[in-house]
Each structure stands twice: as structure tokens, then as C-alpha cells.
Amino acid sequence: MIPASVQNILDRLAVAWHERAIALKAVSFALVGVVNTAIDFSVFWTTANYLHWPLVLANVVAWLVAVTFSYAMNSFITFGPESGRILRWRDYASFGASGVAGMVTSTATLLALSYVIPVLLAKLASILVSFVVNFSLSHFVVFRERPP
């Protein structure tokens, strides 16, 4: 038997999930991002250290595999209702471009802040900025609701 207070929280989470509240989408996007990061690192490490690929090639391939996974998971989970759970080349290209925009913004933030705060703090801030940019572009551009 689940206590009433716990059941209330579970019921509210279920309603929020079905209503696709933006905060819940952000959490889902972040969780996909965590798995995506592990994939990126694993592919990079494998190709660079075991297949002896050049670092740039290994990094680009790792990013492509990770962004593809991220696009698919966000299409089916985070933005499932908006995408109709259908994978589209155009959306994939937009998603990839938003990832590049997030990387550029992250790098610019890191460089700018590194002059005024410790690099570690600048890096953490750049991760936050990148998340906001990537999530915003995904939510408002890539997976925006389309008229039927």
C-alpha cells in the first residue's frame, strides 16, 4: 500500500508527464543528455584508443553517433507528442544545427568567463548556458508543435 502523500506526488507527476510541462521536458532532455554524454565518450575512447583513429575524426564520429541517439530519444520521449514520434531528416538536421549552436555558445561563454572567474567555474557555467540554448532550440524550433 502506497501512502497517500506518496500517491499524491505520483499522481501529480503522471499528470505533469501527460501535460508535458516544460520543467518535466527539461528534466527528460537532461537525462537523455547524460546518456548521450556517456555514448559520446565511449565512442570517442574506443575509436581513439583501440582503433587508433586521429583525435579529430574520433571526436566527430563520437559526436555524430551521440547526436543521432539524442535526436531519436528526444523525438520519442522528451518531445514525443510534438514530433509524433516520427524521425524526419529535416528535424535531424535542425537538431544537429542546434547542437552546433549550443557548442559555439558554450565555447564563447567558457572563453569570456575564463578571464574573470576560475576556469572550472567558467566551464560549469558554459555547460549550463549550453543546456539552456540546446533545450530552447529543441523546444521552440526543432520540436515545435505543428498545425495538423
- Of the candidates 4, 33, 1, the one whose C-alpha atom is nearest the C-alpha of residue 133 is 33
User: Mean pLDDT per segment of 10 residues, for the chain of length 148 residues?
Assistant: 76 66 87 92 91 88 92 94 92 92 88 91 88 90 79
Contact 37, 69 (CB under 8 A): no
Q: How many residues does the chain have?
A: 148
Domain boundaries, the chain: 22-142
Assessment of whether the complete model's pTM goes beyond 0.85: no
